[in-house]
Chain A
Amino acid sequence: MPMPSLDRSPRFTARCGLLLCLALIFSYLEVRLPLVFIPIPGFKPGFANLVIAFTAYTCGCPTAAVISILRVLISSLLFGSVTGFWFSIAGAGASLLIMTVLLHTVRRYVSPLGICVASAAAHNIGQLTAASVLLSPAVFSYFPVLMAASLFTGTLTGFLLGRLLHSAERIPLLRRISPPDCPPTKKGSQ
């Protein structure tokens, strides 16, 4: 699999900036608006992940990786903590890894729903692993709850991602970028 190089056109840069800003806005909202009606600590709808998955679908996984890492860095600097940074980066890394693997191997068999559930689960596993290293292995007692939560949030973001990808085809700025930077969504060339 050839590693696609990042596009350096102004159009592409502008799009990445937009996506990064969106991801940051969602991170901020998730930090500032705790879901009081769902009393599970650490529970987030994962809308930032939605932006990352959208990027992976429309601009390719390397771009998604860059945006994801930048998002974690900037959001930790602006409204996070040092420990929070390690949790976030572990979660984001695991989620990106599984997203990349799935999109490059079984893309034609998996819909955005599956991608989002898998990446939400991977995000939680990554966070738990970081927490068990940094704090105590006891946090793994929390695993079943987080897995169940990722089914729920993954379904929500996956549904939204499906609708978004459908709508984005009609918006020139958000349309899928031509290969080799990204493989086609529908037919699954890779």
Chain B
Amino acid sequence: MKPMRHPGDAVIYGIVLMAAILAFVCPHLTGRAGDMPRTVVITYDDTRLTFPLEEDCTVPVTTASGHTVMIRIADGHAAVTESTCPDGVCIRTGVIERTGTAIACVPAGVLIEIEGGVTDADAILG
């Protein structure tokens, strides 16, 4: 038998393709894609600061131990740009953008985390 010349195939392909496209486009149109906006949470000493990831800003943080850490939020990323800590691991961590990722500056006692948004479906479906 020839696996061609069946009109139903075109219909099925069409439906699946439309479902894929609609599901891809619709959340963007209605703005429900990310649901919760992602935020950058900076924790040090007993302070907890929250900033939207979408708005660019630079946050200088001075801790009780005397360290100063500069946190830059830009283009949907967060990164430590300057730090007075001795080893600079926090700067070398680079940028974070995904929910659940974090930068820690242990000598200064500063933790920068990304929260909110849709959790990644990776590693769930097997």
Which residues of A pack against B, CB within 8 Å? 41-42, 84, 87, 102, 106, 109-114, 117-118, 121, 127-128, 131, 135-136, 138-144, 146-148, 150-151, 154, 158-159, 161-163, 165-166, 185-186
Contact = CB atoms under 8 A, between A and B. Distances in A.
The 7 closest A-B pairs by CB, nearest first: A42-B125, A162-B3, A147-B20, A110-B8, A109-B8, A114-B9, A144-B24
Nearest to B18: A147
B86 interface: no
Contacts of A110: 6, 8-9, 12
B13 A109 contact: no
A19 B92 CA distance: 55
B16 A41 contact: no
Contacts of B12: 110, 114, 117-118
A143 B9 contact: no
A150 B3 CA distance: 18
B16 A121 contact: yes
A151 B17 contact: yes
Among A143, A159, A165, A186, max chain B CB count under 10 A is at A143
Contacts of B3: 111-113, 158-159, 161-163
Contacts of A138: 35, 118-119, 121
A121 B118 contact: no
B77 to A, nearest CB: 20
A114 B6 contact: yes
B46 interface: no
A135 B2 CA distance: 42
B16 A150 contact: yes
Given A42-B125, A117-B12, A143 B23 contact: yes
10 contacts: A109-B6, A109-B8, A111-B1, A111-B5, A112-B3, A121-B16, A131-B125, A139-B121, A143-B23, A158-B3
A142 B121 contact: yes
Contacts of B126: 41-42, 84, 87
B122 A41 contact: yes
B74 interface: no
A141 B27 contact: yes
B19 interface: yes
A41 B125 contact: yes
A147 B16 contact: yes
A109 B118 contact: no
Contact of B124 (A131, A151, A186): A131
Contacts of B124: 41-42, 131, 135, 139
Contact of B33 (A111, A117, A141, A163): A141
A166 B33 contact: no
A117 B27 contact: no
A87 B33 contact: no
B123 interface: yes
